Chain A
Amino acid sequence: MALLEVEDLHVTFRTASGPVHAVDGVSFAMAPGASLGVVGESGSGKSVTARALLRLFSITDDVQISGAVHFDGQDLLRIDERRLRAVRGGQIGMIFQDPLTSLNPLMAVGEQIAESLRLHRGVSRSEAAAEAVELLARVGIADPEQRATELPSSFSGGMRQRVMISLAIACRPRMLIADEPTTALDVTVQAEILLLLDELRRSEGMALMLITHDFGVVAATCDDVQVMYAGKLVEKASMAHLFDRANHPYTEGLLRLVPRFEDAHTGRLHPIGGQPPITGGGGSSCAFAPRCSYAVDRCLTEVPPEVAVGPQHLSACWLAADRAKDATEAGRPWRRAQ
């Protein structure tokens, strides 16, 4: 029984310059305690997907969401605000990209954590304060009693992200969504945060959905991975499987972006040429076709469906079957292509 089941999710922003289909028919599921990485360039719709699950949009956004998000027996897109608020923070915790602006600058961090506890668990003010201190200690903040009374401005970026994590897991949610949790941090701090997330997921039995543009981050933390491009899922597989048999040309391109040891002496990086489209959806072609070096005529006239290319492995590409066969014969296609 899946914990989260997303069915045909569409998210459309209405802007002055016309509608933008940020998410265009995405479906996936997560089991309790699973870890799923969602990878894509900025603008691929991965963050919007995460926000749509909890209907978390800014007051300026004019958003239309359709599809279904089944979580624990209810459809998060259809329940009323009141029940949705109980899920937010209570059942699903969320971590955001920029720890510098994600905390209220004028509220002591302990209070910001306690706020969530009091809201969802109805504990007293002093109990909540005590538990907030424990949570800060849990995410590795030294001298938590003192730190709980301080404002976010006295914390470093990495420490703030730890505070954010403690805030998100405060009510022992069944699922944690982390939206680019390490992007704004130093490389050394990134690894610590990822380790912490992985450790918390295992010990608390939470499901973790990790959104990132960096395959390296997913590799370190997630069992499953799905790749998004222009609002669509283009490939999903287990992490191990994907690394060996990436099928979609876009995934192949992304994997080449991860700097590898073999390239260290040549100093070469392998960028994907061109820019991702600003609006996805509504097209009658594969959105990646203009940037794809394998593209054939069909890619420009028909949208490719998701096809199974292996156990638990889907790819949305007209060449998927051929590429899967090649891969079985020759091993890692992205490596061979170099």
Chain B
Amino acid sequence: MQTTTATASASSQGSLRGLLLRRLRDGVIVLLLVVTVIFFLAHVVGNPALVFAPVDADDEHIERIHRQFGLDRPVHERYWEYLVGLARLDFGESTWQQRPAIDAVVEALPSTIILTVVGIGAAAVLGVIPGIVAGARARKPFDKASNLASVTALSVPNFWLGLLLILMFGVQLGWLPTSGRFETASIVLPAATLGIVHGGRIFQLVRSATFEEMSKPYVTVARSKGLTEWSILRRHVVRNTGVTTATIVGWEYVRMWGGAVFAIEYVFAWPGIGLLTIDAAHRQDFFVLQAAVIIAGAFVIFSNLLIDLGYQFIDRRIAAS
């Protein structure tokens, strides 16, 4: 429901080009805000040398870090250097892996992309088709059953759902591998978990979009022409909810990057950016943690922007034609 209001408010506001520029500017500002907050917490509130040091560092090591980063210099100089570094994708050195933090993130990205793409595919299968059917046949047994399932999927913690699947299909039945990425089947359980969680949201949004569409007068007209409910759905309703559905799935894909995939990768030890982030958090590997969060954050911000623009573009073309 949030998504539709966002779309409605964004429409009819100047040209696409203007919209793009405005959204780009906003995106950059948001990122700048976030990195500034991170910088201040690390450099001003805390002792940066302690933040940058690995968990097991002794006093001498910390002293060395202090000198190495020039932490005696004024804050504004360090802040500027920090921003310039980020602009060059220089996120600092991993204290754990002894290599640039960005390398570790880039190495982990493909795994996450594969997992999220398969995951959103599963979510779309679980969410879109049942959502359309449930919306078209509201209050019928299928609607009730699928609603119950989606409401449950949205109320339980996602990582817990992953653990439940591990227990059922890994431990009890022994059908599927439960951790790592050593064989093709390894992706089944983490992708299924993502699919269930995000499919639940997709289901609810698609269902209500379909339901709303089914209540429109032109559907009654189509009925008065003698069309079956099925052809009304297939020929008329889905055509009109298509763009909305695609946007919903797009939004949900991006959403994965902002939360669920981190916990799910951790649960299934899937070697992507999520596992990297959590491991870095446990090892106090600040630069890797920072790189991962900023890169994932930037991905989320700019993907949302692209989806909104795409929606606007199609919407305006429809309105114009």
Contact = CB atoms under 8 A, between A and B. Distances in A.
Nearest to A82: B228
Contact of B221 (A59, A86, A151, A164): A164
Given A59-B215, A102-B217, A151-B321, A89 B224 contact: yes
Contacts of B216: 101
A167 B220 CA distance: 13
B226 A89 contact: yes
Interface residues of B, number: 25
Interface residues of A, number: 31
A89 B218 CA distance: 14
A153 to B, nearest CB: 7
A106 B239 contact: yes
A120 B225 CA distance: 9
Contacts of B217: 96, 98, 101-102
B235 A56 contact: no
Interface string B122-137: 0000000000000011
Interface in A71-111: 85-90, 93-94, 96, 98, 101-107
Contact of B225 (A58, A88, A101, A153): A88
Contact of B226 (A90, A96, A98, A153): A90
Nearest to B319: A153
A101 B213 CA distance: 11
B214 interface: yes
B138 A167 contact: no
B285 to A, nearest CB: 52
A103 B226 contact: no
Contacts of A87: 226
A96 B216 CA distance: 12
B225 A119 contact: yes
A85 B321 contact: no
A86 B225 CA distance: 9
**Interface residues of A, dominant DSSP:** loop
A101 B226 contact: no
B219 to A, nearest CB: 8
B224 A56 contact: yes
A54 interface: yes
Given A59-B136, A60-B215, A96-B217, A104 B225 contact: no
Contacts of A107: 235-236, 239
A132 B265 CA distance: 57
B222 interface: yes
A116 interface: yes
B133 to A, nearest CB: 13
A89 B225 contact: yes
B227 A103 contact: no
A130 B218 CA distance: 23
Given A88-B223, A96-B217, A164-B221, 12 more contacts: A58-B220, A59-B138, A85-B227, A89-B225, A93-B224, A96-B220, A102-B217, A104-B240, A151-B321, A153-B319, A167-B221, A168-B224
20 contacts: A58-B214, A58-B215, A59-B136, A60-B138, A85-B227, A86-B226, A87-B226, A88-B223, A89-B224, A93-B224, A96-B221, A103-B221, A104-B236, A106-B239, A107-B239, A115-B225, A119-B225, A119-B227, A151-B321, A167-B221
Q: Which 7 A-B pairs have the closest CB atoms?
A: A89-B226, A89-B225, A88-B226, A94-B224, A85-B226, A101-B217, A116-B225
